[in-house]
Each structure stands twice: as structure tokens, then as C-alpha cells.
Structure 1
Amino acid sequence: MNMKISPIALVTTAALLLGGCMVGPDYHRVQVPVPARFKPLPGWTLATPSAEAPKGDWWTVFNDPLINQLEPSVSVSNQTVRQDYANYQAALADVETARSSLFPTLGVSSSTTRQRTAGSTGAVTNSGALEGSASWSIDLWGEVRRTVEENKATAQASEATLANATLSEQTALATAIIELRTSDANIALLQKNRSVLPGVPAGTDQSGRHRHRHALGRDHRQNPAGKRPIQPYRPWRGPRPVRACHRGPGGQKSGRPHR
């Protein structure tokens, strides 16, 4: 009994078999034996990184109206975040472009022509053309599918980069505002302390303030009950000039300076 195999069936079978072949092996993450818990530190567990996950409105814990007002604008107005967002959108577009190569490509083109013949009649003729094309490159060796996988991994990395950049810029903004609040509080505290000290003018230098605090503490130690009034601050005018005198044989001072 002779069996005849149709050429169409043979070609179809070969295409299906070759379609299952792909260029290169599949990627598998290297398995490293890691314990679920660490014996020396029973409270520690394995981390589950999720860099691409949104972090939420974490800045609301500070309860600062200025931080709550400015933080949402980071993802819109910050140039670094906008650049990373554009890179992420480009990576998604690359995935769709690579995936489109798995499907047939269809093309349609048309053209029209209108012309008038020379002569006494001057007849006008119209003509048109409609053309169509179709092409399909079968991904026998899996090149297109590997490209799609590569672009997906790149898009995932771009998404994580965008999330980390957004969190970094939001943290920088919150840190700057908190440092500003701290500086304002320190300035207010220094101004309050200066107003408490009596007799210290606004333009007193640093050395004068130190001497006044020293004199104030000495007066309080000598008179803790506060019976004697505190002397006002007098600026220091420098050391007094000392004149060395020469003594004569009889012990009397002479006007000659001592050399």
C-alpha cells in the first residue's frame, strides 16, 4: 500500500516543528541556597524587593503643609523624573514594535491620473490604480520572540528606574524643607535668648556676648538673692598702657623709662 503525503502538509509540519525552535537557551536565574531565616538573628527574614511598586504618599507622616503641597508636583515638574518617564515610554514602544513583527504586514496604495489630450477635441481622460501588498516573515528561529523578551526586560528596568528616581527626588525635597524648618527654629531660639539678656545691644560682637554672660554669672554667684542690680554691659576698650619706671639707688622712682 502506497501512501502519498501532500506537499502542503509536509511544509506545514516542517514550519510547526521549526517554529518551536528558538535561538539560544532560555534564561534561568541561578539558584543559590539561602536559608529562610538566619539563626543568629531570629527576627530577620528574606527581603522582597519591589522597586517598581509605588511608594504612596509617605510624606504625610511629617504633617507639614508645605511638604504636602510640593511633593505631588515632583512627578510632574521635576526634569529628572520626566526624563526617566520618557525613557520608560520609549521602552514600552520598543516592546510593541518588536511584537508587531510576529504578524503579517499588509499594505495598500492608490493613485489617480487626469490628463487632457492635445488637439481640437481636447478630450480628458481619467485613470486610477489600486495596489495591495502582503508579507509575513515566519519567526522560525525565535529571533523576534527573543527581541520581545529583551525589550520587556528593558522596560521593566526603566520602570524601576523611574520609581527610584521619583522617590529620590521626593526625599530630597522633604529633606530640604525639614532643614529649612530646623534653621528657622534655631534662628527664633537665638533671637529669644538675645532678648532675655539685658543690656546687650543688637550689634554686640561675639566676644562681647561671651564677656557679658561671664559677668552675669559672676554677679549671680556673688549675690544669688538678686539684691545687687546687675551692671550693664560696657564694651572692652583694650588693656591699659603700663609704664615701667626705673628706681634709683635710694629706691625712689625716676622719670626715666626702664630699658
Structure 2
Amino acid sequence: MKGAALGGLALASLLGACSMAPEYHRPEMPAPETYKEAGDWKPAQPADAAARGAWWQVFGDPDLAALEARSADGNQDLKAALARLQQSRAAARYAGADQLPSLSAGASFTRQRSSQNRALFNAGAPNPYNDFLLNADLSYELDFWGRVRNTVSAAERSAEAAAADYATATLSIQAELAQDYFALRSSDAAQALLDQSVASYDKALTLTQNRYQGGAASAVDVAQAETQLQTARTQAAEQHLRRAQIEHAIAVLVGVPPAQFSLAPAPLAVTIPAIDPGLPSALLERRPDIASAERRVAAANAGVGVARAAYFPVFSLAAVAGYESGKSGSWIEAPAHLWSFGPSALFTLFDGGRRSANSDRAHAALDEAVAQYRQSVLNGYREVEDALVALHQLEQEAATQDAAAAAAQRALQQAQYRYKGGIATYLEVVSAQNAALQAQLATIDIRNRRAAASVLLVKALGGGWSAASGGNSDSTVE
């Protein structure tokens, strides 16, 4: 008994000691000390930080927060991503079952007649005869070379990658929804401006027509005023179209048919939050897509171990126990009892190069996963840099564009005074009106682009995800 126990311990130690997979290390990827476009970026104040996970709260818009909550429950792409995660986890459990023995049971009844001309035929034996069989079979692979363990490891790493993929899909939907929402509010602001301009141009046309009838204006002035009005109406109609399409996109993101969804117009009133990008080295722990790529490297590394193990024999234990009898009355009795137990080994002597090809494939898959991981890291750095430079430049553009809009408004007032005083043509008024309108529309567009750049920066930094959360979107936007 003591010898059997020691043998079992020795066997367990041997089973766990050997693995053909290379020792895994996360691929090295040099990180810059700081972001190139960070400059003198102002770190966020404590008030700028939102509750963990709900990064969109930094914008302080309750309508956006309500839409984000609806998308989490209704978006079909997220449901599909969750289903893929569940499939991957089930596949990992399926692979893990190979670490345990397999036990099956069966029962059969056979009536058979043997050929009297066969070799060693016993003429005295019953012919035909019955065979009643009840048996249980147990089999277990002795994982000396780590084939099973590495298969399980690869499946588990793939499941972890799927969890990060789900977090990536969630973040992408959240960011897309926020961008569409700000685009919608920007469209509302532009629509209000255009509607106001149409009303103003309509009054200007009426005034110009009255002046023409009184001999104080020319027919050219009337035509220019009408052209200005109709052009503004065309722009307003185009803005209606753009808003409707954005609203339809938001409806799909929250999982609602566009016909059953609407948002009341409201101005674009968003405060651009200060978001600290942190250090580039921290990006590896904050972005779920980078975590997914790294987990796939680990899965491919385990796959190399599976391919290497194919060069070694497969050892198994098998056991059978049950009852067999020619008569049903004596089927379940001690004399009918049967059993067998013993190890087996299977070694492939020749396979035409199949194992070698599979090993080459596994190594190439590992090289591919490493390259994709490094590319994901590079893409992450680029996206952060792009968002930072966009925020910096758009902040400057906003200041200069505000000044330009104010100057255009003053020029319009002067042109109107000069026209009423008879020292300027209506063409000067039309040009000033166009310049003022375009300057105001550009101001609205820059405001929308700044909000979108803030969303892209949050997305580039991983949103509310962190490696420590294991895929649960639960970290602070700092």
C-alpha cells in the first residue's frame, strides 16, 4: 500500500514536470518615455474623473449617459461579441475535460451464428448463441509531454483574448455612440443657425424688394438677395438630412429601429474635459485590444508545445469492468464478471512529414501573433498621439475661429450700414453674410471635432478597461 502511494506521487510529479512549450515571456516592445504630442498637457483635476467604467460621465451630459446605458443592453453587436466570448469559454472547458479520465458505460444483446467452416470451430458449442454484455470503460491519457496541458492552456488564453475582444467591442460601441451624439448636437446647433439665417435672409429679401419698388435698389440686388435666401434654404435642408441620418445611426447603436427612435433637438453644450494620457508604458495595461493580442501570443506559445509533443509517444491507461453471459438469467452473477486493466503506448513511426509541417505551422503562428501584438502596441501609441495633437490644435483653432466669427459679424454690420447709406452694393452685403455664416458654422464644427477628439483620446487610452480588472470595464479616466 505504501509502495503504491509512493508510486502514485512519483507518477503525479512526472506528469506535471514536463512541458514541450517554450517558457513564455510577453514580447518586448520598447515604450517611449512620454508622448510626443503631450507637450505641457494639463493633468486632469480630481473633479474631472468619472465613476469607474462610465468614462462618458466626464462630459456631464445626462442624455449621453442615458444612451450609453441603453446601448449596453440593446446593441446587437455587443450581444454577438458576448456570444463569441461564451463560445470561447465553453471551448476552454471542453479542452479542460481532457485532463480528467473518461468513463463510459454500455449494454448490448447479440444473437449470433458462427460459420461451421471457420478455423477451430467447436461443433459442441451452441450455434447460434446469445451474448449479453454490460460493461464500463475508463481511459486516461498520461500527459508526460504536456500535450493536454498545453492544449488546455491555449484554449484558456484564447478565452482570455475573447474577453478582451468583448471589452474592445464595448469600448468601440461606446465611443461611436458618443461621437454620433456630439455630431447630432452639432447638427442641431447648425440647424438652428441656418433656420435663423433663412428667417433673416427672408426679411432682407422683402426689404430689398421694397427698396427696388421705391427705386432705391436695383433688380440685381433683388436677385442677389433671393439667391442668398434659396442657398440658405438648401443648406438647411441638407442639415435636416444629415441630422436624420445621424439619428438613425444612434438608433441602431442602442438597438432600436430608427422608426421608433427620436431625440429632441438641443444645442451642443459640452465642456471639453482634461484627460491625462499618462505614460506610454501604462498603455499596455489599459487597452483591451493590446491585451487580446498578448493573450493570443500566449495561446500560440502553448500551441508550439502541443506540436512538439506530437514527436513523443502517447501513453494511456485503460480499464474495463462488467458482466457477460450467454443467458439473461445468469447475466449479473459473479461468474459472469469480467475486467481488464493496463497501460498502452502509441508512437508514430512515419507520417510523411506531417508532424514537422505542423510544428513549422505552430512556430509561424507564434511569429504572426508576436508581430500582431507589436503592431497593436504601435497602433495604440499612434492613436493616442493623433488624439493629443488633435485636441491641442483644435483648441487653438477654436480660439482663432471665435475671433474670426466675431470679426465677420462686425464686417456684416458695417456692410449693412454702408448699403443702407447708399455707398456699397448689395453684393458686399451678400459676401459679408456668407462669410459670417460660414464662420459661425466653422465654430460649431470645431466644437464638435474637439468633443470627438476627446472621445477618441479616451478610447485610445482604453476607456474604463484595465488589465487588473480582467476585462471588467472598471477603471478611472484620469
Q: TM-score range by the shorter chain?
A: 0.5 to 0.7
Secondary structure of the structure 1 residue equivalent to 2:105:
strand
Aligned counterparts of 1:57 and 1:140: Cα–Cα separation in 2: 48
Aligned counterparts of 2:187 and 2:159: Cα–Cα separation in 1: 42
- The aligned counterpart of 1:29 is 26
> Could you say if the C-alpha distance between residues 13 and 43 of structure 1 is closer, same or farther in structure 2, counting changes exceeding 3 Å?
farther
2:108–2:134 contact (8 Å) kept in structure 1: yes
Are 2:418 and 1:218 aligned? Answer: yes
1:110–1:131 contact (8 Å) kept in structure 2: yes
> Could you say if the C-alpha distance between residues 213 and 162 of structure 1 is closer, same or farther in structure 2, counting changes exceeding 3 Å?
same
- The aligned counterpart of 1:249 is none
Look up the equivalent residue of 1:204 and give its one-letter code: E
Over residues 70-96 of structure 1, what are the superposed CA-to-partner deviations in whole Å (9 max), with x where a residue is unaligned? 212333433332222222111111211
Look up the equivalent residue of 2:417 and give its one-letter code: G
Aligned counterparts of 1:31 and 1:209: Cα–Cα separation in 2: 58
1:75–1:82 contact (8 Å) kept in structure 2: no
Are 2:226 and 1:204 aligned? Answer: yes
1:102–1:138 contact (8 Å) kept in structure 2: no
- The aligned counterpart of 2:186 is 182
The structure that has the greater radius of gyration is: 1
Aligned counterparts of 2:12 and 2:105: Cα–Cα separation in 1: 28
1:74–1:166 contact (8 Å) kept in structure 2: no
Over residues 25-69 of structure 1, what are the superposed CA-to-partner deviations in whole Å (9 max), with x where a residue is unaligned? 32123567879x56x99999xxxxxxxxx9712223334343223
Aligned counterparts of 1:208 and 1:166: Cα–Cα separation in 2: 44
Percent identical across equivalent pairs? 32
Aligned counterpart in structure 2 of residue 153 of structure 1, from 136, 142, 157: 157
Aligned counterpart in structure 2 of residue 79 of structure 1, from 73, 76, 92: 76
- State the Cα distance separating 1:146 from its structure 2 match: 0.7
Aligned counterparts of 1:10 and 1:70: Cα–Cα separation in 2: 63
Secondary structure of the structure 2 residue equivalent to 1:83:
helix
1:194–1:200 contact (8 Å) kept in structure 2: no
> Could you say if the C-alpha distance between residues 26 and 192 of structure 1 is closer, same or farther in structure 2, counting changes exceeding 3 Å?
same
Aligned counterpart in structure 2 of residue 142 of structure 1, from 140, 146, 170: 146
- State the Cα distance separating 1:206 from its structure 2 match: 2.0
> Could you say if the C-alpha distance between residues 55 and 152 of structure 1 is closer, same or farther in structure 2, counting changes exceeding 3 Å?
farther
> Could you say if the C-alpha distance between residues 132 and 71 of structure 1 is closer, same or farther in structure 2, counting changes exceeding 3 Å?
same
Aligned counterparts of 1:19 and 1:27: Cα–Cα separation in 2: 17
2:82–2:166 contact (8 Å) kept in structure 1: yes
Aligned counterparts of 1:75 and 1:8: Cα–Cα separation in 2: 54
Aligned counterparts of 2:30 and 2:70: Cα–Cα separation in 1: 44
- The aligned counterpart of 1:227 is none
Aligned counterparts of 2:81 and 2:52: Cα–Cα separation in 1: 17
Aligned counterparts of 2:24 and 2:56: Cα–Cα separation in 1: 39
Unaligned 5+ runs, structure 1: 1-5, 45-53, 113-127, 224-230, 232-259
- State the Cα distance separating 1:174 from its structure 2 match: 1.4
- State the Cα distance separating 1:22 from its structure 2 match: 1.5
Return the TM-score normalized by structure 1: 0.57
> Could you say if the C-alpha distance between residues 208 and 219 of structure 1 is closer, same or farther in structure 2, counting changes exceeding 3 Å?
farther
Aligned counterpart in structure 2 of residue 106 of structure 1, from 88, 103, 107: 103
Return the TM-score normalized by structure 2: 0.33
Higher relative contact order (CA 8 A, sep 6+): 2
How many equivalent residue pairs? 193
- CA-atom RMSD in angstroms: 4.4
Unaligned 5+ runs, structure 2: 42-50, 110-131, 207-224, 233-411, 427-478
Aligned counterparts of 1:7 and 1:111: Cα–Cα separation in 2: 35
